[in-house]
Amino acid sequence: QVQLVESGGGLVQAGGSLRLSCGASGSIFSIAVMAWYRQAPGKQREWVALITSGGSPNYADSVKGRFTISRDNAKNTMYLQMNSLKPEDTAVYYCKVIADLQVVWGQGTQVTVSS
């Protein structure tokens, strides 16, 4: 059973930065895609960024140029560096991984950007 633990959320002023982490634990043979999603109050969950097992990133247009996704395969950990944060980035951020053909979600971490 794969488990995900997210950390790094918090309150930051507009223009500031935060770094989210998502660590996978359990009996893991391989992790394919790792991704971040977010859900703002009253809105549907939306995809933010993903990174393949080979390290190729892809971003939603709303965060392109401001967010950077990375992963450490040796640690089964994914990161999201968020710079130039805007109030509209306020949301609960979730990590999702495809590990050993299972889709696993983290519990979410709150990011609040004040104006």
- 37-73 pLDDT tens trace: 999 999 999 999 999 999 999 999 999 999 999 999 9
pLDDT at residue number 28 = 79
pLDDT at residue number 43 = 97
pLDDT at residue number 26 = 86
Average pLDDT over residues 12-33: 92
Q: Are strands 3-7 and 77-82 parallel, antiparallel or unpaired?
A: unpaired
pLDDT at residue number 33 = 92
pLDDT at residue number 31 = 84
| Type of residue at 53 | S
Torsion (CA) 40, 44, 70, 114 in degrees, nearest 10: -10
Band of residue 29 on the pLDDT scale cut at 50, 70, 90? confident
